Amino acid sequence: MTAAPLNTLIIGQHGQVARELQLQLAPLGTLHVLGRDALDLAHPEQIRQQVRTLAPDLIINAAAHTAVDQAEVEQALAFAVNAHAPGVLAEEAARLGIPLIHYSTDYVFDGRKATPYNEDDTPNPLSVYGRSKLAGEQAIRDVAGQHLILRTSWVYSLHGRNFLLTMQRLLQEKPELRVVADQIGAPTWAATIARSTRALIEHWQAGQAGAWGTYHLTAQGETSWFGFAQAIAAHLQAQGKHCARLVPIPTCEYPTPAQRPLNSRLDCSRLQKQWQVSQPDWQQALIDCLK
């Protein structure tokens, strides 16, 4: 039996995940896409008004204050967008009796664990960004409605501002590039996140939903930022393009306003077990993205 067309509200328009969601979810029904010009997440009354006017079947929050270093000096704005707004969305979703899908981050952890983090590990964010995202998770949980909080990491795509595009440019501009080699994680293509989100929605529509709650959703495998840079360089070199010499450095040689976790690895096995949704290896996803 074909599922009824969905009336979906996507918060976020031009972000990496939001763009991919629009491509993936268009076949499922009507999309209402609200970018920053149509909805300022720092104003709760705007959120409530838009949700009540549109009366969707599903809300997906793909918007956030993601400028990690900037958040250190824009704490009030980061918490308004990343912490308070998700709580308001959760309240409105619960009022309508519909699910909310929300994206969070590996930055809720301090990175001191020796193995990949699972959903039961205690968060301990090191930055304003991480604290604001954790507060957003908790605000959603406090409402206790139907929700999926999907923690991801190291998101990249061919749009926006991200490590892939920055490296592609710098590798061709500079003779030498020093890249951090002691932070470990899984580069995750925005399209992987969007495709997994669609799979979750289709399982829910088919009456095959797993448990609501918090899940980890990243590509499989692991590498460092240096290893990610090497993979990007290899692709450029395969096209006959000259690349900078890559030099691995420790985090202490690349100071930033916000502290980053050294271990950003997330165990995604619970999502596979509960929802039968799995992700590709990060290297294969990078190849698919660059095609």
267: Cβ contacts below 8 Å, ≥ 6 apart = 115, 116, 117, 118, 119, 216
Q: Using an 8 Å Cβ cutoff, are 57 and 6 in contact?
A: yes
Amino acid at 129: Y
Domains and CATH numbers, the chain: 6-160+188-220+260-279 (3.40.50.720)
Q: Quick one: DSSP state of residue 176?
A: E
pLDDT at 167: 97
Distance CA 60, CA 58 (A): 7
Query: For residue 100, what are the β-bridge partners?
Result: 59, 147
Model confidence pLDDT, tens digit, residues 23-37: 999 999 999 999 999
* 208-231 confidence digits (pLDDT tens): 999 999 999 999 999 999 999 999
> Is residue 1 pLDDT above 70, yes or no?
no
Structure tokens at 75: 């704490």
Which pTM value belongs to this model? 0.95
Whether pLDDT at 2 is above 80: no
Q: Quote the CA–CA distance of 272 and 279 in Å, as a whole number.
A: 9
Residue 129 a catalytic site member: yes
Report the C-alpha gap between 197 and 17 in whole angstroms. Answer: 10
Q: How far apart are CA 1 and CA 156, in angstroms?
A: 36
pLDDT more than 90, % of the chain? 97
From the candidates 117, 129, 156, 215, give the one annotated as an active-site residue: 129
Per-residue pLDDT, averaged over 149-165, amounts to 96
- Residue 137 · residue 204 · CB < 8 Å: no
Angle, vertex CA 192, rays to CA 191 and CA 198, nearest 5: 85
**pLDDT score, position 4:** 85
Q: Which residues contact 184 (CB under 8 A, 6 or more apart)?
A: 222, 223, 224, 262, 263, 264, 265
* Model confidence at 3: pLDDT above 90: no
Residue 203 has pLDDT above 60, yes or no: yes
Residue type, 83: A
Encoded amino acid at 253, one letter: E
Q: Residue 103: phi, psi to the nearest 5? A: -105, 135
Beta bridge partner(s), residue 160: none
Tokens describing residue 193:
């996140």
Q: Within 10 A of 260 (CB to CB), how many other CB atoms are there?
A: 21
Q: Report the chain's mean pLDDT, rounded to a whole number.
A: 96
Stretch 9-17: mean pLDDT: 95
| Three-point CA angle 111, 114, 118, nearest 5° | 70
The DSSP call for residue 261 is P
Q: pLDDT tens-digit profile of 102-153?
A: 999 999 999 999 999 999 999 999 999 999 999 999 999 999 899 999 999 9
**Distance (Å, whole) CA 67 – CA 88:** 22
